[in-house]
Each structure stands twice: as structure tokens, then as C-alpha cells.
Chains A and B, each alone.
Chain A
């Protein structure tokens, strides 16, 4: 399992997570190259289908990185995204796929280090689970 490099898709809101990404870039904190970033104006726009499609296309994990719940510019974007992530966790469970393969993280705009930490954390979690194809059947 050691050489398994999980493919991860991260949906990030332009306001918070992406500015954190810029800061991390400035700090020369490298984001793992197996994390593919998709920027969205607000995480509230991310629909259930958007979260499922990466799994359909072969991703091993997906996460949403957005604002703190009380600092979303569009009021409730990240809260909506968190509910959809919870819905997809339920769908994955129904398929006997570990729900830990999808998650949501609340970041602060200036904290580049946090942005990289979250990516690393997700890579490690999914690495521990292995590829979706060999996910153990759980009842």
C-alpha cells in the first residue's frame, strides 16, 4: 500500500481557501501534487453531483475547503456545502465505501499553512484507506 498515491480533488472557494493557497505559495509550502484544486466562487455552488463525479472518474478522495461558517461572503455557502458533503457521505456508506473519503474544512483567508495541512491530512487519511476499488466490504 506504501506506493499508493491517492488522487484527491479539492473544491476551494475563491475568497478563503484560494487566498490561503496563495499565501502558502508565497511561503513556499508545497501542496501535494496529487491534490487537484477546483476553484469555485462560493462553496455554496457545489452540488451533490459535483462531489460524486470525481469518484466516478476514479478519484480516491474529495474535499471542500471554504470559509469559516460565520465568514462566508454569501452568508451560508460553506454551511450548504457541508450539508451536501454529509449527503455524499451517506451515499458512499450505502455503497460500502468509507465516508472518510469526503470531507469539508473551514479555513481562514490568510492561513496558507492550514491550507497545506488540510491537503496533507486528507492525503494521509485516504492513503490509509487505499484505493476505492479495494475498499473492504462493510455491512
Chain B
């Protein structure tokens, strides 16, 4: 899933300062699963903004709406009858959401309510960890099913750097050295020799470095 975190409320209030009618829009996709942008969080943020309005003596109208997804135009369309009632929209979907809303409703002022962090998963309740950097040409099979691009701080492809120590990365003792894990896993599977093969520098043209990406599936295009 795409993992995000709430923006600090102070920052958010500063963004929407002066707006009297604010619509908070959630998404039932990834951000619901990582507990940051679903219907529950929409209600919490809306309530928080109302409390701040009360405190400042402002007569704020704060609406709540949660879409099936904010990354599909048909769901964004669902806002068409209500969006005109508001001066500002806060989207608490990943960064795709506020952009899809901005594109569909050009007159609307849209604000991001979360900071989009990474693609990853829940490693325990309340803890998420990065797994994929979206490089565009997946090679995890070469590394025991683990991704050194997203999970090694230097994205090394030919073994660990000299900073690997007791399974931890040199950048922080909180960060696992994925190369340590890759080597152990390949030893367990009796495939260590596969790591001896030289991996030439990866072409990053399929990654973000190649510019904004687009995917066209002709069989699906109407």
C-alpha cells in the first residue's frame, strides 16, 4: 500500500486559514488501511478543525466525505454536487488525491492533509515499513525476494557496503541492513553463489529518474 502520515494540525490550519467552509475528503484505499485518511480520520480531522473554529470564535462549516478511491475519476465525480458549497477542500488521500480533485474541479482550492511517505506494508500493528521504490523493472528474485533498491540506504546491487554491522545499516541502528538479510537468506537457500554474479548498474530510465511515468494498456483503452 501507499503509506502516508497526517500533516501536523498547526500546519494544516495555517494552510486553510481564512476559509470558512471546508470539506475534508477521505479515501477508502491505502490511506484507510494505514489509518490516516479513511472515514474515521476524516471525522477526527473535521472535529479538530471545528474545535479550533470554536476556540478562535470562527463560524466554520466543516463537511466530511469519504470516496471509494481518489485515484479514479469516476469516484472523484461523486463530489460534483457538494464541492461547490465549500471554499476549500482538504484531501487526506495520498498525493494522487488532491491532484485528481484539482484537475477535475479547476475552480476549487485543494490542500493536502497528509504527507505521502512510501510504498510498503504493515510489519506489526501500527508500524509500517518501506518495501518498494517503484523502479519500474523489478529484480527482487535476484536477491532472495528482497529489494536492495528500496531497502538498502545506498541501493547497492553487489553486496553490502563496509558500514554493515551486526545486521544494522550504518545510517542508524534502527535500520536493518537488507544486505545482511539477503546474504543470510541466500545461505539458507544454498544459493550464495548466485550473489557472486556481477550486477551491472541498473538503468533508472524506468524509474522516476526517467521523468514522469505513464502506462497505457491498449486492450483496456476505450
Residue positions of A touching B, CB distance < 8 A: 47-49, 52-53, 55-56, 58, 91, 94-97, 132-133, 135
Contact = CB atoms under 8 A, between A and B. Distances in A.
Given A52-B51, A58-B54, A135-B55, A94 B44 contact: no
A103 to B, nearest CB: 17
B47 A133 contact: no
A4 B109 CA distance: 41
Nearest to A132: B55
24 contacts: A48-B44, A49-B44, A49-B47, A52-B48, A52-B51, A53-B47, A55-B54, A56-B51, A58-B54, A91-B9, A91-B48, A94-B8, A94-B10, A94-B13, A94-B48, A95-B9, A95-B13, A95-B51, A95-B52, A132-B51, A132-B54, A133-B54, A133-B55, A133-B57
A135 B13 CA distance: 17
A52 B45 CA distance: 10
A107 to B, nearest CB: 27
B40 interface: yes
Given A95-B52, A132-B55, A56 B9 contact: no
Given A53-B47, A95-B48, A47 B40 contact: yes
Interface string B36-71: 000010011001101110110100000000000000
Give the most central of B8, B40, B43, B54: most A CB within 10 Å. Answer: B54
A1 B54 CA distance: 19
A97 B47 contact: no
B103 to A, nearest CB: 30
Contact of A95 (B40, B44, B55): B55
Contacts of A94: 8-10, 13, 48
Interface string B1-32: 00000001110010000000000000000000
9 A-B pairs with least C-beta separation: A94-B9, A52-B47, A95-B52, A55-B51, A94-B10, A56-B50, A56-B47, A49-B43, A49-B44
B212 to A, nearest CB: 34
B48 to A, nearest CB: 6
Nearest to B48: A91
A97 B8 CA distance: 15
Given A95-B55, A133-B57, A49 B9 contact: no
A96 B51 CA distance: 11
Given A52-B44, A132-B55, 12 more contacts: A48-B44, A49-B40, A55-B54, A56-B51, A95-B9, A95-B13, A95-B48, A95-B52, A95-B55, A96-B55, A97-B55, A132-B51
Nearest to A58: B54
A79 B52 CA distance: 28
A103 B146 CA distance: 44
Contacts of A47: 40
A97 B51 contact: yes
A60 to B, nearest CB: 11
A52 B54 CA distance: 13
A53 B51 CA distance: 9
A44 to B, nearest CB: 14
A70 to B, nearest CB: 21
Contacts of A132: 51, 54-55
Contacts of A48: 44
